[in-house]
Structure 1
């Protein structure tokens, strides 16, 4: 999916300077499986991620991204982690600071397939295989936060 119009409009005003954005990660659980997709931009295996549109509720954004990227209808069950991702600098010099909101989501319906160009493949992976599937540390931490049964959202605090 191309860069959202609101970000293009903001870039006209701020250039490549750091742009604060809110992102969501939808950790979609079905039984003992988690949905993962292979990103088309870097080949990484990740849960569904995306950017919250202006005025959009973050939980709704997680559900929208699941439908747009993987063709799944999901329910956002709870917020599991709030954290700042280290600054991202893109090949064109644009910089972004993402505040990520990770949600535990339940599968409602649909068979996963790559709907848009953001993922080259999507599918269900056994939770027990996440460590050997090639998921990076950051994404494994997001998945772990969604599996934490305490039900409390995590957040970071710097001294």
Structure 2
């Protein structure tokens, strides 16, 4: 998973200091199944994820990341969850704060496969028998996206006193 050039450019100015980025997760549903793959960096089973490029609409980023990682074309249906992910510190010392945007997406076409090397063993998983997901909030992302009539979930929302 190569680091985008614009992130490398910012890192050249700020070093390892915390960098704020917007991240997307695409919860792709088709016939009672969900699209998941194993991350090549840590082996965790996850939906497609990635970061929003400069000037890119977040829903477009979810669609793009899904196509890049799995070869599957989707349409973003709704924003399910907006939340701040706890600070991530990478092995090289880089720190990132991610605003997480979770989208429910509809399958349009394509058979899943590891398209760019970011995911391995990509496929459809039955919603009724999902295996344990290694990353803490991935199940919550899925559950909030599956609630068809639920409004978007926003964390926080109260101003400081």
TM-score w.r.t. length of structure 1 = 0.96
2:18 aligned with 1:36: no
Gapped runs of 5+ residues in structure 1? none
Report the equivalent of 2:95: 95
Report the equivalent of 1:50: 50
Report the equivalent of 1:156: 155
SS in 1 for 2:86: coil
Deviations 1:50-92 (A, max 9, x none): 0000000000000000100000000000000000000000000
Q: Distance in 1 between matches of 2:77 and 2:149?
A: 13
Report the equivalent of 2:69: 69
Report the equivalent of 1:60: 60
Alignment of 1:1-159 (within 5 A): 1-130=1-130, 133-136=131-134, 137-157=136-156
Q: Distance in 2 between matches of 1:117 and 1:149?
A: 31
SS in 2 for 1:77: strand
Q: Distance in 2 between matches of 1:149 and 1:29?
A: 11
Shift of 1:158: 6.6
Q: Distance in 1 between matches of 2:129 and 2:157?
A: 32
Shift of 1:36: 0.4
Q: Distance in 2 between matches of 1:20 and 1:85?
A: 11
Q: Distance in 1 between matches of 2:121 and 2:132?
A: 14
Q: Distance in 1 between matches of 2:125 and 2:40?
A: 18
Q: Which is worse superposed, 79-88 or 113-122?
A: 113-122
SS in 2 for 1:121: strand
TM-score w.r.t. length of structure 2 = 0.95
Aligned-residue CA RMSD (Å): 1.1
Gapped runs of 5+ residues in structure 2? none
For these two proteins, the number of residue pairs brought into alignment is 157
